[in-house]
Amino acid sequence: MPNRTIAGDLPAPMLAKLQPEMPTGEGWTYEPKWDGFRTIVAVGDDGVVRLASRDGRPLGRYFPEVVDAVASSGDGPYVADGEIVRVADGSMEFDELQLRLHPAESRVRKLAGEIPATLVVFDLLRDAAEDLTGMSLSERRTRLGAHATTLGWAEAPGELPSMPPAPVVLVAPWTDDPSGAQVWFDDEDGLGQDGILAKRADQQYLPGERGWVKVKHRRTLDVVIGGYRLSKSRDGVGALLLGLYDDDGTLHYVGHTSSFKAAERREMLAELRKLEGPSFEGGRAPGGPSRWTAGRDLEWVAIEPVLVAEVTIDRMQYGRFRHAATFVRWRDDRHPESVRFEQLGVEPPQWPDADATAET
C-alpha cells in the first residue's frame, strides 16, 4: 500500500508512472515536468510555513527565501503541491539546486542570496479546513487559480525561459493541446525541463499513488564500461560505471546503469573480475562518499576499458547523466576509443578539480 501521508499530517505527493509516449485524447491535460525538488507546501493557521520533500524531509531550512516568499504572500491555512527549481539565464540548474542542501546555516543564507530558488505550484490539496483531494483536477485548478489571485502568485509563462527572477512563487502553466505540450517536451529553448506530465482533468488527487503519466526525454548512446560497484549482497554487480573519451583520449566517468536481473549480476561479476585494471586515470572518476550520499556504499572497482555498451539516457548535465542510464545491449562491434563525447554533439566539459567533479 502506498504511503498516504508524510511529515505526520501532510498528504503524500501523487506520483507518475513512466510511459514512452504522451497520451492523447479527450480529457488529457499536460504540464511541464520540472527538474527540481518535489515539495509539499503547508501554511498553518498561525502563518508558519512548512516545506516537505517527497519523503517528508523538511526543506524549509535549506530554502529560507522560498519560505519568506510563501509567508509574505498571505496567511493560511492551505496545503499545495509543487516543485522547487533553480532557473538562471534561461535554463534550469539542478546542480546549483543541489548545492543548496548545505548543513551550515551561514552557508545556506549565503547561497539563498547568490543562487535563489523558485517555487512552482501546480495543485491545491487543502484550502482552509476543506480537503480538496477528492475533487477533480479541473476543480482543483480552478480553486488554485482563485487562491493564487488572492495571494498574488503569478502564472509561470508558457514560454518557460522567460520566467521571472527568483525568489518567487509561480503557478505552473498547463494545456489540453497536445501540440502545445509537444513544444514544452521538445524544449527547443533549452530551459531543461525533465519532460511532460500528463494528467486526467477528471481525476482526484491520489496521495502516494502513481496516477499521472510522465514522459521523459530518452536518447540512445554508446558508452565504455570503466568499472563496477558490487551489489548489497556482494555476490553480483550492483552497477556498471560508464565513461566517454574526450578528444585527447582520456576516459571520463559520466554515469552508471544498474538495470540487470539477479542472475545477470552474478554472471557479470565473474567476467568483470577478469578485467580488473586501470580505467578513469587522468579523467573524471566516480566519487566516494559525501554529504549527498550518506549511507550508500560507493566503493568501486576499475576495469580495463575494453567493453562497450549501448544505453538510453534522459539527458546530460554538467558532463554526466542526470539520472541512471538503462542498459540496452553490448556493442562488440565498437572500438572503445571511438566512443566519444562527440556522439552528444557537444564539447567535453572542463572539470576544475576533483572535489568539484566527484559524483554526487
Please indicate whether residue 316 or residue 350 has the higher confidence score (pLDDT): 316
Average pLDDT over residues 139-162: 90
Q: Which pLDDT does position 350 carry in this prediction?
A: 67
Is the pLDDT at 73 greater than 60? The verdict is: yes
Q: What is the mean pLDDT of residues 123-149?
A: 96
Range 88-92 average pLDDT = 82
Quick one: average pLDDT of 86-106?
Answer: 87
Catalytic position from the list 17, 33, 110, 199: 33
Q: 219-357 architecture in CATH? A: Beta Barrel (2.40)
Q: Which helix (H) or strand (E) holds 121?
A: strand 118-127
| Range of 65-69, 75-79, 88-92, 154-158 with top mean pLDDT | 65-69
Mean pLDDT of 118-129: 96
Alpha-helical regions (H) of the chain: 64-73, 94-99, 105-114, 137-151, 178-186, 262-272, 354-357
pLDDT tens string 161-185: 788 889 999 999 999 999 999 988 8
The pLDDT score that the predictor gives to residue 347 is 67
User: Which of 38, 195, 54, 197 has its CA nearest to residue 121?
Assistant: 38
> Mean pLDDT score of the chain, rounded to an integer?
88
CATH number for the segment(s) 5-215? 3.30.470.30
Q: Say if CB 90 and CB 191 are below 8 A apart.
A: yes
pLDDT of residue 233 exceeding 70: yes
Nine-digit cell string for 347? 564539447
pLDDT at 267 over 70: yes
- Of the listed ranges 37-41, 167-171, 172-176, 220-224, the least confidently predicted one is 220-224
Q: pTM for this one?
A: 0.72
Q: Would you say 45 and 76 are in contact if contact means Cβ atoms under 8 Å apart? A: yes
Q: What's the pLDDT score for residue 356?
A: 35
Question: What percentage of the chain has pLDDT greater than the value 70?
Answer: 92
Label residue 359 by pLDDT band (50, 70, 90): very low
Percent pLDDT > 90 in the chain is 59
33 labelled catalytic: yes
Nearest CA to 147 out of 165, 118, 119, 125 is that of: 125
pLDDT at 189 over 80: no
Q: Is 113 exposed, middle or buried (0-12, 13-18, 19+ CB in 10 A)?
A: exposed
Q: What is the mean pLDDT of residues 310-327?
A: 83
pLDDT at 145: 96
Domain-by-domain residue ranges, the chain? 5-215, 219-357
